[in-house]
Structure 1
């Protein structure tokens, strides 16, 4: 086996290990990538990792998945990048499809079985508040960024539309790009040579899926289009994706109940891998009327739809990113884009709280989850397990 193939094998093995052990959200994910792929293996340099992660943050789609794919692209080109994408998302996708099976089975065969999730649903909001706090302290450091964050929160709360996201991010990016003179100058060739192939692939699939879905009305095609569109328009990570999936699949299409959705989101916080894996859960339950095959089909179609667009876009941009980042306005724009994303997270927390009763137990579950995450070293899966046990205990004491 050649040295190159051994290197590729080791990289995929490391990706698989990450997919099975990366609990705790994007902050923990980045720390693990830094330790494994930079310090121990030396696939890329630390500065490259931060730049690739910043690039992924300004593109729509799942940041952690795009970062893994981008590193794979740097190590071994597009083939290794696609393989690393598959290895990274498969465990979480399978786990969330299994979760959908179990939830559907319990509801069909055991009335009241979801009582174990009494505290799991509000705990999901505690996870989002914690993620918002971590993100805000990391990314919002100036007066301009604070104002943009509050503006984004207000707009995202009152105008809950995925089509508004790109506009808000554009406004945020343009606003702070005007301060480009504060950025240090970088010398070197700034001539951009752009290969448009992956951009055309992304846009072509988006248009084709929309047209095919409109013509055929096939549920599987429509589901793929729904998730591909969300994956193409959602900026800011899984926490920002959640309220839009809730609006589309719970409030509008009514494929899931509020209880099912929030239970699934909380469970997704207790498994390793990408937060976007909740899409597999939502997709599976959206096609449960077609039986076991529908659950499987819906889960895999939703997963493909949500992860592919971000991958196509990162492959498109990464080829000329080294030249693009030399422009000071581009680097300055990151501040505004990150601030707007933080505002979206704050709005997401409240939008998910709306369906819940504002009683003592729900508020205590939200606050308790936040405090455990913030002031203890308990892992996310253990906190979820405690919530399940609390729900079972509550149901036994107050049947």
Structure 2
């Protein structure tokens, strides 16, 4: 008689459909942000199903931390790719991403359509919840990514620069400068070689994916200048956000805010309310792009705008993951690349500090009651480990209840 575990592994075919079903379950239940997602993935694919060894999984996480974009989603793409090829990567992304994206587009259409009918206190409570969520992210990332005085200093300099010059290009310059500083001053121990994975991407195809990444990064702004239009403008803004953000979903906040609020695409109140609501759904925080696309004032909006922005912000992740995997062993052994990454990670925390102040704090905290509510939400998240969706819901109700009648 075949043991249950062996029978399960035998029946678990290497098909895109099997990958999709596993990631769909994770997409419906994975609350808690990128770090929690990586824990869910390890339990599902290393401990329970044994699709990967512990070392292989660690190498995948290391690669995706090195690349810009949503690390947890990229880890899922690599797992799907190694299990069922390109279709497996797409299946993993769809299963993990679409549940929260659908919910957020529906919410965006409801908020945009309701207009003044949505209670102001409810929106305000969602914005206060965003303060607590971003503050928790700042604290957690600072503890792990800024463990010494040089990296704390680099974090402070990055935050200062971005607050004094709040533009997407300043953020890019800060990241580049931080990488150069890290390569010069931060020297980690030599890394060990990673365990090989069954990745069906050759070096020629990888170079093609990387070229496509840079062609789109440079070509979309040019195309928008030559052919002005809302479609190209949205694709350019969200592709650039997905291509230039290190550190995951929280760090994309300032780039997206700079792209959609000053241009008048989305009201700042709706932006922050949606960001708070994004904490209440499972799956990757980058699905916040679907909310913004759904809430656009100009066409395309609704379902079309939501899917356009969602695909645009995740497209760089697919291209970078497929392009980087065949070269990962060489990068993994390179101490200089790891040192540069240490500097970039410190700057990521600085960007998050700047985002915590503007626009999150300045738009949500106006009275002592707001400070108290944000503090209680932070304690609930960080000390009592209350699920983020419950904290967000409680803040929304509290903001509604505390609003003057």
User: Following TM superposition, by how much is the alpha carbon of 1:4 offset from its aligned partner in structure 2, in angstroms?
Assistant: 9.1
TM-score (norm 1): 0.89
Per-residue CA deviations over 1:272-296 (Å, capped at 9, x if unaligned) read: 011011111111211x445xx7311
TM-score (norm 2): 0.88
Residue ranges of structure 1 left out of the alignment (5+ in a row): none
SS at match of 2:21: helix
Q: Structure 1 residues 382 and 203 mapped into 2: Cα distance closer, same or farther (>3 Å)? A: same
> In 2, distance between residues paired with 1:4 and 1:331?
40
Of 136-145 and 305-314, deviating more is 136-145
1:20 aligns with 2:38: no
Corresponding residue number in structure 2 for 1:165: 171
Q: How does 1:192-231 map to 2 (within 5 A)?
A: 195-231=206-242
Corresponding residue number in structure 2 for 1:240: 251
1:378 aligns with 2:389: no
Q: How does 1:154-303 map to 2 (within 5 A)?
A: 154-178=160-184, 182-184=188-190, 186=192, 195-250=206-261, 252-286=262-296, 288-290=297-299, 294-303=301-310
Q: Is the 8 Å Cα contact of residues 106 and 114 (structure 1) preserved in structure 2?
A: no
Q: Structure 1 residues 179 and 214 mapped into 2: Cα distance closer, same or farther (>3 Å)? A: closer
User: Following TM superposition, by how much is the alpha carbon of 1:149 offset from its aligned partner in structure 2, in angstroms?
Assistant: 1.5
1:306 aligns with 2:313: yes
Q: Is the 8 Å Cα contact of residues 253 and 355 (structure 2) preserved in structure 1?
A: yes
Q: Is the 8 Å Cα contact of residues 167 and 258 (structure 2) preserved in structure 1?
A: no
> In 1, distance between residues paired with 2:186 and 2:350?
22
One of 21, 33, 37 as aligned partner of 1:29: 37
Corresponding residue number in structure 2 for 1:47: 55
> In 2, distance between residues paired with 1:207 and 1:357?
38
Of 230-239 and 46-55, deviating more is 46-55
Per-residue CA deviations over 1:181-202 (Å, capped at 9, x if unaligned) read: 65136579xxx96741101222
Q: Structure 1 residues 354 and 77 mapped into 2: Cα distance closer, same or farther (>3 Å)? A: same
Q: Is the 8 Å Cα contact of residues 58 and 337 (structure 1) preserved in structure 2?
A: no
Q: Structure 1 residues 186 and 260 mapped into 2: Cα distance closer, same or farther (>3 Å)? A: closer
Residue ranges of structure 2 left out of the alignment (5+ in a row): 1-8, 195-201
1:102 aligns with 2:110: yes
Q: Structure 1 residues 4 and 193 mapped into 2: Cα distance closer, same or farther (>3 Å)? A: farther
Q: Is the 8 Å Cα contact of residues 208 and 323 (structure 2) preserved in structure 1?
A: yes
User: Following TM superposition, by how much is the alpha carbon of 1:138 offset from its aligned partner in structure 2, in angstroms?
Assistant: 1.8
> In 1, distance between residues paired with 2:119 and 2:187?
59
SS at match of 1:354: helix
Q: Is the 8 Å Cα contact of residues 279 and 299 (structure 1) preserved in structure 2?
A: yes
One of 326, 330, 333 as aligned partner of 1:319: 326
> In 2, distance between residues paired with 1:168 and 1:107?
38
1:87 aligns with 2:98: no
One of 70, 84, 93 as aligned partner of 2:78: 70
SS at match of 1:103: helix
1:128 aligns with 2:134: yes
Of 27-36 and 151-160, deviating more is 151-160
User: Following TM superposition, by how much is the alpha carbon of 1:208 offset from its aligned partner in structure 2, in angstroms?
Assistant: 4.2
Q: Is the 8 Å Cα contact of residues 166 and 235 (structure 1) preserved in structure 2?
A: no
Q: Structure 1 residues 32 and 186 mapped into 2: Cα distance closer, same or farther (>3 Å)? A: closer
